[in-house]
Structure 1
Amino acid sequence: MGRPRYGDGIAAALALPPGVDARRRWRSTARARESFLSSATAPTWLRPLIRDSWERSMKYRVNPETKAAPVLLDSDEVAETLRANPLRAAIPILQRLLVEPATDAGVIVALADNDARVLWIEGDNHLLRKAEAIHAVSGSVWTEGLTGTNALGTAHELGALVQIFGSEHFAQPVHAWSCTAAPLRDPATGEICGYVDITGHDEVASPQSALLIRSVIAAVEAELRLKRTERARPVRQARRGPAAYLRILGRDRGQLTVNGQSAELSLRHTELLLLLAVHPDGLSAGELAWKMYEQDAAEVTVRAEVSRLRKAWPTLVAPTSPYRLNVELKTDAADVAESLQRGAYRRALDLYRGPALPRSEAPGVAEHRDHLHEWLRQALLRYAGVDVLLRYARSVPGRDDLEVWQACLERLPNGSRRRAEVEAAVGGLQDTFGFPGDLHRNGLATRRTLPS
């Protein structure tokens, strides 16, 4: 039986959509939980994701007053497990993108394996000490079956990004916390290999936190893919032919260059090549079908598309499933990702000509496009100088982004002649979208306090 689905996109995972009063939601959900525990029924306004998780928690016979998660690995076992797990490559990225920027924001960041066992945790020191009371520590296990509804355990159950806000937790001692968690996928198989979780007060259940963790997941998965490619490179170079280059940024169709000859591709052939480029170890016909089409598609459809691509470019793709590239194919999107990994933000923006294949509706392409764009946006917001950030704000993807314009305004000195332009942009966007004049949307920076 497959995992339950709760609609498409990130909206289904949000715990606190814009306009929801956090304090009121906390109290009403706490009352709903008490009613559920006594009657096994939940109000219709409760998120289906939470209702189903509470039902599973009750089915698993989780004590709703359980005080802490079980700690099943000691420090030596955690170190040994992490030493043998490719997930260790994620830690420097999590430190750079989540821990360091959020040191004063009151959050903690955890990395767990595919069994929801916490292998690494860092963040605000005061919050880390408080989290020890619920055993949010290395070696603890946060599956729903052991601890009830929580972002890590519920993401483990659903295989998707999940936010859990305060009193939505099944166990009452965790009600002072909120969290967002999302799965990491193995670049070779597409299977879940771990989870990233951020925990703190109610701001970590905001839409901004969901977008932030999704962009961080993209960065980590790109690093895992790079590490795997580096390990396989000697074998691959020995058997592959000349390199090829595919341009997809800001283009409706790809431009392929092989041996100095360039040609425009159809959208379908571009999608095929891009998906194979980001999965260098190959994809089966079924996996390609899932990533190519919004609806379930027969494998024969994919096989026909690959056959047509091979007729046009016979040296590019292996003839049988799993399909893989016979040449080393580089993309302009990969160039942007590599620049971001190096911290070369100005270079990344120079290379970013726009979203990857903006007209493509292929699920795998859309995921790749969204990840790269949000990774670039978050990197610029957090680390880029004002000149680079202002260039992005003036671009097509940035010109309607209020948070970006506000960040520019904060970084410009008071005497700068550019403040007039930026203030006008901020005011115009606030009027357009109905935001109050003192709104400050800066990811994890805004702090609110929940009732204890």
Structure 2
Amino acid sequence: MSTDDLHLRRVDAVRAWTSFVTLGDGGEPAVRPEILRSWELSGVVSPTLTHAPLADESDTADFWRASPLQTAVTRVQDELRRTAEDGDLVIAVTDEETRILWTYGGRVMRRKAETVNFVPGGRWDEASVGTNALAIAGRTDAPSMVFSAEHYAEVVHNWVCWAAPVHDPATGRRLGVIDLSTTWDRTHPIGLATARVMARLIETAMPTSARAVASNVPAPGEPGLTLTLLGTAEVWLDGQRLLLNRRQTEILALLSMHPSGLSVEQLHSLLYGDSAVTTSTLKAEVSHLRAALRGQLSSRPYRLTLPVATDIDEVQQRLRVGDVRGALGRYGGDLLPGTDAPALVEMGDYLAVSVREALLADPDPDAVLRYSELAPYDTHVVEACLAAIGHQVHPAVPLLKGRLAASGR
């Protein structure tokens, strides 16, 4: 579009926005149906707000570290940054609740983004800031563009945004959205296509471990608590994802491992070890967790009072019956990567050794290939598998030999 065309489009958008804000339901603004629907959902916020609300910084950082999106974005961040710098864009990746987890911006847009909290922790759902491309893409699970005054908040009327949902490639579940934003006068017809390409780029970079454990996600409405703790951290209550910080997830993991319950002293020891953390801090975390679980966490002792399923239990159960391939299908990697809770570190080591020993005893080729993705430098298991296959013809042999070559053996 020419500069004049863009200016006329902006004038029309401002006129429609003014009509809607002034007349409410009585107006008939000439905007796309998806924009009008979003405006209608945005009435809970003021169109004159100056910035997005911020979520807790530590919670956001904990969620980002545990998310498979973090691994995927890290793998492709050079491409994302080049795109941002070449187009003077700010790029954002959100969680499924449209909370920003990661951003990168060109020189001009980075400063503009910071002034409106378009930064990690910023909440950009419609209930927080009104109409924007991130919110619409997240709510509709489809790519979205929002131009100038199509935004509900006047503070971003100078922006144009393109957003596309990011899905788990194994399950199809939406993990969040990626958004590209710049000033309205830099609107380009390939903006939305670029957002789609960036979303696919992230999806293809998703960690294999995250894809494997994704099958543990419960169906919508399934009762009880489901914990995915190996290689990542996800908590589902009755089919709904809970957004918990790292400590709360660690507490849940420990309680799931001790179904008969733990005293406050026992839980403190298992969680913090010798660290100088007060029991009041632990009690505060448990209180928040109890609220998230709708009261299904009893006291004296602390005990979960609802059905619980974990990938830890499933891996152990499959190992007990000799189902090595099934165990590796559920084993997503380290237990809560980065945890410093003594009991969880110990359990993680126990599981890792158990899986490895099971593979050495029964080196199923498919299971060994899966394991080699998680532990690429553990060549001993691969060598044991190739020795067990011997001179037999097996489709896994070239892949196993490729693993050895890639590790320098």
TM-score by length of 1: 0.45
- Compare relative contact order (CA 8 Å, sep 6+) and give the higher one, 1 or 2: 1
TM-score by length of 2: 0.49
Q: Looking at CA atoms only, which structure, 1 or 2, has the larger radius of gyration?
A: 2
